Every structure is written in C-alpha cells, then in structure tokens.
C-alpha cells in the first residue's frame, strides 16, 4: 500500500493491519487518514453485537470501554497504514486511558465516528499518545486521551 495514496482503509485493509476479529473488531472503515497524524474511523453499531445481550437487556447501550477500544483500533489503523504495516503482524497494546468522559449513549442504528489525533509519536516510535472523540450524528458521545505501545515488526524477521 502506497502511503501517499492511502486516504481510506476498508475492512480488508483493516484486517490486514489489526489482529482483531469478531466479536472484537470494532471499526468498519477508516477515512481521512493523514499519515502519522490523524484519521476518522467508522463503526456501524448493530443490535447483533454480543455485548447488547447483557448491556442492557431491553435498553441496548454500547459499553464505554468498547467505544474507547474502537478509537484505539482507529489509531492503530492510522499508524499501520502510515507505516505500511499490512500483513506484518503488527500489535498494539493499551498503556493508559486518561480524561475519559462519556456524553451520550451509543446504541443500535448509530454510526459512531471516531476522530483520533496523534499528540505524541513519530515513524518508528514505540509509544504513542492520542486524543480521541466519538461522535454520533455530529454529537459528542465520548472523549479521551490514551497511550499505546506499538509492537512494530522487527526488521530482521
């Protein structure tokens, strides 16, 4: 994948970058990728997701931790596309979540937009910091800052 032309990551490219699969792959598309800087992820929320069975019966609400995880997956795709890491066993680990606030419920039928911006990190860096916002129909649902460690493939392998 040529970094200069990669403005969108469809589900096929996302799955070539992230190791996550159902039921924990929480981003359907990533667009507006500015290499190593920012991206917008899209999560189409459906009633078929397993967490809705118990969170909460009769009043399905997407758990806040899954919203933050979707932001982190968006950030990982942005870094993966930027560094051409498709098919290279790229892993990302949470190191911290700060200043997280939830402002609106997210439920079935919502389209959750995940706006992430790198606040620390550069090509080849292991530790990155991001700011993220989750929006539904332009309304703020969640905002937080998070830190992640990028386990980049070794050059020797």
Give the integer Cα–Cα distance in Å for 42 and 133: 12
Q: Which of 20, 51, 55, 115 is catalytic?
A: 55
Nearest to 72 by CA among 104, 106, 27, 28: 27
Q: Is 77 exposed, middle or buried (0-12, 13-18, 19+ CB in 10 A)?
A: buried
| Token pair of 15 as six digits | 């799955």
Q: Is 47 exposed, middle or buried (0-12, 13-18, 19+ CB in 10 A)?
A: exposed
- Asked if 55 is an active-site residue, the reply is yes
Catalytic residues: 55
């Amino acid at each position: 994948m040529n970094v200069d032309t990669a403005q969108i990551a469809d589900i096929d490219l996302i799955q070539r970058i992230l190791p996550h699969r159902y039921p924990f792959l929480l981003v359907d598309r990533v667009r507006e990728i500015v290499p190593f800087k920012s991206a917008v992820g899209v999560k189409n929320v459906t009633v078929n997701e397993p967490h809705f069975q118990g969170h909460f019966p009769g009043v399905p609400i997407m758990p806040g931790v899954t919203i933050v995880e979707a932001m982190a997956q968006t950030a990982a795709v942005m870094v993966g596309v930027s560094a051409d890491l498709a098919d290279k066993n790229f892993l990302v680990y949470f190191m911290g979540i700060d200043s997280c606030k939830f402002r609106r419920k997210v439920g079935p039928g919502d389209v959750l937009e995940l706006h992430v911006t790198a606040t620390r990190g550069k090509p080849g860096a292991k530790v990155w910091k991001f700011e993220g916002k989750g929006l539904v129909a332009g309304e703020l649902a969640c905002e937080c800052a998070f830190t992640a460690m990028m386990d980049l493939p070794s050059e020797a392998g």
